[in-house]
Amino acid sequence: MTAQPRQGQPHKPQAGEPSTMDAVRLRRVNRWLAQGLSGELADLYVDSRETPALEAYRSRSRQDFLNRLTGDIRRPGFAMVIAETDHLVGCAFGFPVGSDGLWWLGFDGALPQSIEQLTASGGVFAITSILVQPHEQDQDVARRLQERLLSDHQASLGATLVDPDDHPTLASLRSWGWLNVGEVRRPAEPTMFRALVFPLGERATARLEGLAHDAWTRWPG
């Protein structure tokens, strides 16, 4: 098996070697398979922290990641998509946001009505992590994982929380069309997270049209 690249050592295909993007396969796994992959996923988390990876929450230890993964796996509707070649190179996972709107608890100010309506209809899916192995094409892998996870769930709106100091992740999500909609403080968390949403389909996009004008002007960076 090819050695997994570490910090500062992104894998570059040699002459005649297929690129990672050519070889990558996406596969949805259920909660039991995800649990069985927890060790490999934790290794991937450690690898991805060494680069501008799309890790939706603040940096945590390996064990903290495993604890959070276990908690997410137990949530109703948990879903995960992995990217693999001859080894694991990426994953994205999350769960549906309940129509009761509790996921938005701690939102600073009034939740935009359009998001409230989409939440009440059960059309919002929260992505809690997108992890990719360090690689020159890791952003393409991450984007594909995001698209597959949301499309498999037939979501109208993707949602995620990002540490405001995680500028690489914010820049990547912005380039993919995610919108800043406010800030959220989670119980027992030391920081305010930025709440981002990604509309899917014409109806969701139309509902959020008003947010698009100033979505990225409220915060610097």
Q: What does the pLDDT read at residue 23?
A: 83
Q: What is the pTM of this model?
A: 0.81
- Distance spanning both ends of the chain, measured CA to CA: 40
Average pLDDT across the chain, whole number: 80
- Tens-digit pLDDT profile for residues 57-105: 545 678 888 999 999 999 999 999 999 998 899 999 999 999 999 999 9
* Residue position matching structure tokens 């919108």: 179
Look up residue 56 and give its two tokens. 């939706």
- Residue 151 and residue 26: Cα distance in Å, rounded? 13
pLDDT exceeds 80 at position 50: no
Asked if the model's pLDDT at residue 20 lies above 50, the reply is no
d(CA 203, CA 157): 10
- Say if CB 76 and CB 96 are below 8 A apart: yes
Q: Band of the pLDDT at 204, cuts 50, 70, 90?
A: low
Distance of CA 160 to CAs 26, 96, 128, 204, Å? 21, 11, 6, 16
The CA distance from 64 to 185, in Å, is 19
Query: 188 versus 185: which is more confidently predicted?
Result: 185
CATH of domain 24-212: 3.40.630.30
Predicted pLDDT of residue 190: 75
Kindly state the DSSP code that residue 106 receives in the 8-state scheme.
Answer: T
| Pairing status of strand 157-162 against strand 124-132 | parallel
pLDDT of the residue at 212? 54
pLDDT at res. 2 = 21
